[in-house]
Structure 1
Amino acid sequence: MHVVVNAAQSVDGKLATRRREQLRISGPEDFDRVDRVRAAADAVLVGVGTVLADDPHLTLDEEDRRVQRLRSGRSGDPARVVVDSTGRTPTDARILDDAATTYLLAAEALDPERREALTAAGAEVVVAGAERVDLAAAFDELSERGIDRLMVEGGGEVIYSCFAAELVDELHVYVGSMIVGGRDAPTLADGEGFVDSFPRLKLVDTVRLDDGIVLSYQVDAADETPGAT
């Protein structure tokens, strides 16, 4: 599986405010770029924190891109994936509607009744890991379901976990011209953080969009930090 991480952050590296409120960092040009990246993916992944904070739909904005996918024999919209170890996704979340297939990555600790409720609401539950989702195992399960290209949209905990598990191939970051501040505001890669060695990236492209810049990186697998989810 090829994993592409995409995010928008402020100049000081924040994804949102300390209140975890949705923040408009980029503009129309970058929104269109993100829609293109989504259209090229087989599935789009977020963490349950993003679902709880933003209630995203994760479908395509441009109908032409949906039509092109259908003409190529694919579903109109990419599948949607939520990393949710204990099943906190609300059963009325937009991501569980019938616009596209939704996979919910959960741990074995997921309550059976909660699993049944989420399945009834439209989720296809994929269990991987005991107390927390084992991303490497979960991604293998997604590959078996035909997911060859996965777009990860965040948040910071999920992005960190993907890097820690050595699952990331590309990183695209839109840096908007604003300062957010706040020691408790989420960053691009939260989680425990790396202390001994660090994932190494190779800058391959820069593009100015709106009043910001998109930095595109490839992950240097030879230097990437080993770790677990």
Structure 2
Amino acid sequence: MHVVVNAAMSADGKLSSRRREQIAISGPEDFDRMDALRADSDAVMVGVGTVLADDPHLTLDDADRRATRRERGDPDHPARVVADSRARTPTDARILDDAATTYLLVSEAAPEERVEKLEQAGARVVAAGDDSRVDLARGLSELADEGVEQLMVEGGGELIFSLFEADLVDELRVYVGSKILGGRDAPTLADGEGFVADFPELELRGVDRIDDGVLLGYAVEENES
């Protein structure tokens, strides 16, 4: 599986404000680029924190791209994936509509009653993890068995850190916008516990000016440790 992390952050590295409100960091050209990347992917993944904060739909905006997917035998929209250790996704979340298949990766800590309700709401629940958190390597392996060859990850910072920690990221594409958000408690590109050794190394592959910001494209170098 090829894993592409795509994110937009402020010039000071924040994904949103300290209130964790959705903020438009990029503009129309970058939104279109992101839609094209979604169209080229088999699935789009977020963490449950993003679902709770933003209630995203994670579907394609462009009708021509949906038509192109149909022509090649794919569903109109890529599948949607949520890393949700304790099955906290609301049963009325937009990602649980019938626009696309939605997988929820849960751990053994997920209450059975919540899992049943989410399955009734249309989710395909994948148990992948111990009693505290999702085992992302195992979860992505399950998705690969379902035919997911390219996975686009849209955040948030906790999920992105966890994927880097598990050495599962192949590419990072990050749009740096012309805003300063500030705040020691504002989410960053990679939150979590943070690295103190074996820092992931990136190779810069491209720099493009888009809207009023810059798109940086990185390949993730293989961890030799």
Q: What range describes the TM-score normalised by the shorter chain of this pair?
A: over 0.9
Counterpart for residue 124 of structure 1: 124
Deviation at 1:197, TM superposition (A): 2.1
Gaps of 5+ in 2: none
Q: TM-score, normalised by structure 2?
A: 0.98
For 1:63-115, what per-residue CA distance to the aligned partner results, in whole angstroms no more than 9, with x for missing partners?
10000000001111000000000011000000000000000000012111111
Distance 2:93 2:128 in 1: 22
Distance 1:222 1:183 in 2: 29
8 A Cα contact 2:200 2:223, kept in partner = no
Q: How does 1:67-78 map to 2 (within 5 A)?
A: 67-78=67-78
1:212 and 2:213 matched: yes
SS in 1 for 2:174: strand
Counterpart for residue 59 of structure 1: 59
Counterpart for residue 170 of structure 2: 169
For 1:20-63, what per-residue CA distance to the aligned partner results, in whole angstroms no more than 9, with x for missing partners?
00011000000000001000000000000000000000000101
Query: Which amino acid is the alignment partner of residue 138 of structure 1?
Result: G
Query: Which amino acid is the alignment partner of residue 194 of structure 1?
Result: F
Distance 2:113 2:36 in 1: 38
Q: How does 1:102-117 map to 2 (within 5 A)?
A: 102-117=102-117
Query: Which amino acid is the alignment partner of residue 148 of structure 1?
Result: E
1:148 and 2:149 matched: yes
SS in 1 for 2:33: helix
Distance 2:149 2:183 in 1: 37
Distance 1:59 1:186 in 2: 24
Distance 1:88 1:23 in 2: 23
Distance 1:75 1:149 in 2: 15
Distance 2:116 2:9 in 1: 36
Counterpart for residue 44 of structure 2: 44
SS in 1 for 2:168: coil
Counterpart for residue 23 of structure 1: 23
Q: How does 1:178-193 map to 2 (within 5 A)?
A: 178-193=179-194
Deviation at 1:117, TM superposition (A): 0.0
**Aligned-residue RMSD, C-alpha:** 0.8
| Number of residue pairs the alignment of both structures matches | 224
Distance 2:193 2:163 in 1: 12
Counterpart for residue 134 of structure 1: 135
SS in 2 for 1:108: coil
Deviation at 1:165, TM superposition (A): 0.2
Distance 2:205 2:129 in 1: 34
Q: Identity of aligned pairs, percent? A: 67
Instruction: Call closer, same or farther: CA 1:140–1:18 in 2, change over 3 Å.
Output: same
Distance 2:223 2:189 in 1: 22
Distance 1:196 1:93 in 2: 38
8 A Cα contact 2:10 2:178, kept in partner = yes
Distance 2:28 2:104 in 1: 30
Query: Which amino acid is the alignment partner of residue 106 of structure 1?
Result: V
SS in 2 for 1:157: helix
Distance 1:216 1:171 in 2: 6
SS in 1 for 2:70: helix
